[in-house]
Structure formats: C-alpha cells, structure tokens
C-alpha cells in the first residue's frame, strides 16, 4: 500500500461567532424548542466544529435517502451513516418549513439554532437493514433508532460553543486545532486510531506497527454515548493516560478525545470514523478486527471489506488493515495470523465480555492481554463498583 499524504479536505465551521452569541441567544428564547437526546447533542457539536464536514446540519431527505442507499451524499461526497434529527409526530405538526427553531440540551441549555428546510418520514426498518444490516431491536443501534422519533427534520445549524467542563476538557480538540498541532510537529503522515475500549496489547501492537510507517499517531478514543456495559469513559481516560506514559514515544503520539456517539454500525461506522479522522487531519486510519461491531452482527473483517466500495483518492484517507492480534506463547510475543505459524492453543485471546467478567470477579487479566498498569486502573474501578 502506497503511503502518501492525502489531500486536505475543507472544514465546515458552524460555530456561532462569540460577537453575536448574546444576541442570538436572546432571539432564540421565543422560538420553538426541540429537546435533544444525547446522540443529537453530540451530533450538533460534531457538525459545529467541522468533525462531520461537509455536513452543515441535519440531513435533507434527498441526502438521507442517498446515504442510506449509496453511502454518498447527493453531491457525490462519501458519507456512510445518516445524521438526522428525529422528532415526534406531534412536534413535527407544529413546525413550518423555513422556520427557525432552538435546539436544547437535556439540561435546558440552548446549544444551537436550526433552519427547518425539510420535514420527512423515514422507513426506519429499511434504514436499520441498510445501515446496521439487521432490523432486530436487540442490536443497540437499531433499538435506539426505533426509539428516537418517527419524523426527521433537516436543515443547517448554527452551534454555540460547549461551555461544559469535565475531566475530558483538557483533551478535547477541534479539527482546526489538531491539524495545526500536527503541522507544528512537522508530521506529514498521521494515522488515526478509534476505540471505545481501554487500549490493550493487541491495540498497542497494531498502533506501533502503523507508527513504523507514518510520522505520528492520533489516538482518538470515543467518549460519547455508548452501551451501558462498556467501560465508563472516565476509567478509559485514566487507562489511556497510563499506557501512553509508560509505553509510547511522547513525541510521536497526540492524544485527544472524540465526543461523538457510538452507533455500533460496524462496517458503515468504520467508514464514518475514517472520514471524521480525515477531517481531524489524519492521512491514514487503522481498521482492525470487527471495527465498531457489536455481538455477531458483522463478519470479522467486514469493516475492512467495505472500503472496496470506494476509490481511495475520493475517500481522501488511506485505511490500514490489520488482522486480529494476540499474544502467542510459542512466539513469546504479539502476533497476527499473518506472522504466527502456531495454532489457537498457543494464543491468548480474551473477548471484551470475558475481560469485563474477570474484572467484575476481581480477577486480573494476564499481562499478555493488557499492561499491568492498565489492569490496575480497571481493577480499581470494577472492584470498587
């Protein structure tokens, strides 16, 4: 695979200028209000900072249908997952086309305005089948899809800066900021890595393999809404900081959190994750085993195969494909099926479910699976819980 700097894509900035914030807030007080769920809140902010470029707001009906059917916007730009604003039938009946409405977080804070250019009713089962490859509501992404609302509003948004401060704030960067940070470091090639789990030895192995052929690693874990049984975001943050301190070259890694919602859409979400990292300034993106998957809904390497549908020049970022990594007792080190000749009896492979069960029972996963420093962080949380 040829390593080259991918073309830099233009960023869409939908943040409201600080000079007009007070006036815009005042004007929105008299507008109809939509109380957003946690997914819509995270989507609004991602659109605002340009992480979802080229989107300027929630999708029109034409863009929505095009993305569902072809994984492209109407203008031909690649985009794999609908970004929509669901509302109830009752609220939709009160809204008129071209009306401006206020988008409000669950805590009552107005976070954006929206011009309603489109009101439409999706076929949710068809969307589920196309995007998630299943209509079963046992799938967490499908269940959430069915629960969110039966009418979609589409139109451009203008977004207020997120004033909330938490333990992640020091690690949050906009695409404009990460692009500058990479340029300041002199990095020409940057590989992005997405995870919703603490970094374990398999992650570390493929990240460092990628680091051998690029200038820098952008470790960009997702800390937005996830499943209830995923490791909590604050625990993952401590685990990331621990492993980076002890096992990574400080001058070749940039750490920043990704405050988006997890869709669990497997292959389609892998494409979306790559596009978002392109917006953050990455030239390459790691796609491993069962990327963004859940349960047994997707094949082990379906998230890699989906990239065969796209011209990489058009995609604008180069995916790096890795097979499942594991510790081999015979090789005495990390390996993949490409590099290890030994059978499964020599391999230490633990699923996330198995690891969580071990931690809940006070059993430390072996050092061949996860670094002791990381295990200590996880054990402290699970034994306390």
H or E segment to which residue 333 belongs: strand 333-335
Q: What is the DSSP string of 194-242?
A: --SS---HHHHHHHHHHHTTSSEEEE--B-SS--TTSPPHHHHHHHHHH
Concerning whether 263 is annotated as a catalytic residue, the answer is no
Q: Which of 196, 201, 263, 277 is catalytic?
A: 196
| Catalytic residue selected from 24, 148, 185, 197 | 197
Of the candidates 52, 48, 49, 82, the residue with the CA atom closest to the CA atom of residue 157: 48
And the tokens for 142? 């499908």
Is 197 annotated as catalytic? yes
Residues 6 or more apart whose CB falls under 8 angstroms from that of 238 comprise 377
What is the spatial distance between Cα 107 and Cα 78, in angstroms, rounded to a whole number?
34
Residue of 302, 286, 306, 100 lying closest to 210 (CA atoms): 286
> What is the Cα–Cα distance from 223 to 44, expressed in whole angstroms?
15
Q: Is 319 helix (H, G, I), strand (E, B) or coil?
A: strand
Count of all residues that appear for the chain in the document: 385
Residues identified as active-site: 196-197
């Amino acid at each position: 695979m040829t390593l080259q700097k991918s073309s830099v894509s233009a960023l869409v900035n939908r943040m409201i200028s600080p000079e007009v914030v007070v006036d815009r807030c005042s004007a929105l007080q008299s507008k109809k209000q939509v109380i957003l769920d946690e997914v819509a809140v995270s989507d609004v902010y991602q659109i605002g900072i340009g992480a979802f470029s080229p989107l300027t707001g929630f999708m029109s009906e034409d863009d929505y249908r095009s993305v569902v059917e072809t994984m492209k916007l109407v203008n031909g730009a690649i985009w794999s997952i609908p970004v929509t604003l669901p509302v109830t039938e009752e609220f939709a009946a009160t809204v008129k086309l071209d009306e401006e409405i206020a988008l409000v977080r669950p805590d009552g804070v107005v976070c954006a305005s929206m011009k309603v250019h489109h009101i439409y009713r999706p076929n949710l089962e068809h969307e589920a089948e196309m995007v998630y490859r299943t209509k079963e509501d046992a799938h967490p992404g499908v269940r959430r899809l069915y629960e969110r609302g039966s009418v979609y509003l589409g139109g451009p948004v203008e977004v207020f800066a997120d004033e909330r401060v938490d333990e992640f704030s020091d690690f949050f960067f906009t695409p404009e900021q990460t692009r500058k940070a990479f340029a300041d470091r002199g990095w020409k090639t940057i590989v992005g890595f997405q995870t919703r789990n603490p970094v374990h030895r398999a992650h570390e192995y493929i990240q460092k393999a990628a680091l051998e052929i690029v200038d820098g690693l952008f470790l960009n874990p997702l800390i937005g809404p996830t499943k209830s049984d995923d490791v909590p975001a604050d625990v993952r943050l401590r685990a990331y900081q621990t492993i980076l301190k002890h096992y990574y070259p400080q001058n070749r890694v940039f750490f920043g959190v990704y405050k988006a919602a997890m869709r669990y859409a497997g292959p389609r979400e892998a494409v979306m994750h790559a596009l978002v990292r392109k917006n953050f300034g990455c030239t390459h993106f790691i796609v491993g085993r069962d990327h963004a998957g859940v349960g047994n809904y997707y094949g082990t390497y379906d998230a890699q195969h989906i990239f065969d549908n796209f011209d990489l020049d058009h995609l604008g970022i180069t995916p790096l494909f890795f097979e499942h990594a594991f510790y081999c007792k015979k090789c005495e080190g990390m390996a993949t099926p490409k590099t290890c000749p030994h059978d499964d009896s020599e391999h230490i492979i633990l699923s996330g479910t198995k690891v969580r069960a071990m931690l809940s029972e006070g059993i430390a996963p072996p050092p061949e699976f996860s670094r002791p420093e990381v295990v200590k962080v996880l054990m402290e949380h699970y034994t306390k819980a």
